Amino acid sequence: MPLAEHLGSHLVELRRRLMISLAAVLVFSGLAYAFAEPIAEFVMAPLFAASPSLKSLVYTNLTEAFFAYLKLSLCVGLAASLPVVMYQVWGFVAPGLQAHEKRLIRVVALLGSGLFVLGAAFAYFALLPRMLHFLMSFAGQNLEPRPRFEDYLIFMARAALAFGLAFEIPFLMAAVVKTGLLPAGHFRRKRPYFYLVLAVLAFLLAAGEPFSALLLILPLGVLYEIGNLIAQAVA
């Protein structure tokens, strides 16, 4: 097959899979928008639990609530469509891979999606309630909290994304070793330095709250050690 025709067929295949991925995001986002209010209530539950005196959030712009619901629906749609997107990526690269590489990528895609969901769930159920309790503790007689609806949703989305990506640490470590960017024993030899980086990262993600940072550094440390074992296994 001529080179131009070969590249053309790949571009057509890429466009088709991009369209399928985009359609999945739009469909799931549309479904999420249909249930935007109960989803928003679910997202706001940790804040109300952290501050029982807070009965509602506010919005200061006429269009703010509408666009906040759209952003929330898009975030949910992106998360829900992740398996479809990962499958399309796998389908695009699979024809050029060996049989054992195809199986490996399938496993990595599934575990990667699972770890992302696990990280977001850990943020919502374990870390964010304590972080919100700390942040809302500054309220007092002369300081009344009035969180904006859109700002709170953005805060929660960023936290879920940050922890979802943080739980991808083992695969990132395995990837840099597998591609030859770092030797297999690098993470073992430099363990103290990486733990220092993880501690700083946990402190920043926890907004400076020590107990929340401790809750995060423990799973990050476990993930680092798992990544170290995987990196040595795939080297």
The token pair that represents 169 in the structure block: 């640490």
SS percent in the chain: helix, strand, coil, step 5: 80, 0, 20
Which long-range contacts link 13-18 to residues 24+ away (Cβ below 8 Å)? 13/92, 14/92, 17/88, 17/89, 17/91, 17/92, 18/88
Q: 119, 165 in Cβ contact below 8 A?
A: yes
Closest CA to 46 of 124, 144, 134, 159: 124
pLDDT band at 93 (very low <50, low <70, confident <90, very high): low
**For residue 94, what is the DSSP state?**
G
Closest CA to 191 of 224, 160, 217: 224
pLDDT tens-digit series, residues 42-85: 999 999 999 988 889 999 888 999 999 999 999 899 888 888 88
pLDDT of 207 > 70? The answer is: no
pLDDT tens-digit series, residues 148-166: 999 999 888 878 877 887 7
pLDDT of 14 > 70? The answer is: yes
- Please provide residue 142's backbone torsions phi and psi, each rounded to the nearest 5 degrees: -105, 10
Rounded Cα distance between 187 and 201, Å, is 17
DSSP string over 141-173 = TTB----BHHHHHHHHHHHHHHHHHHTTHHHHH
Of 21-25, 168-172, 213-217, where does the model show the most confidence?
21-25
pLDDT score of 212: 66
User: What pTM was estimated for this model as a whole?
Assistant: 0.74
Q: 170, 230 in Cβ contact below 8 A?
A: yes
pLDDT score of 144: 87
Taking phi first (over 0 means left), then psi (-120 to 50 degrees means alpha), and beta for anything else, what does residue 139 get? beta
Instruction: Map tokens 């170290």 to a residue.
Output: 228
Higher-pLDDT residue of 64 and 205 is: 64
pLDDT score of 49: 92
pLDDT score of 25: 94
| Average pLDDT of every residue of the chain | 82
Q: 167, 226 in Cβ contact below 8 A?
A: no
- Per-domain boundaries in the chain: 3-167
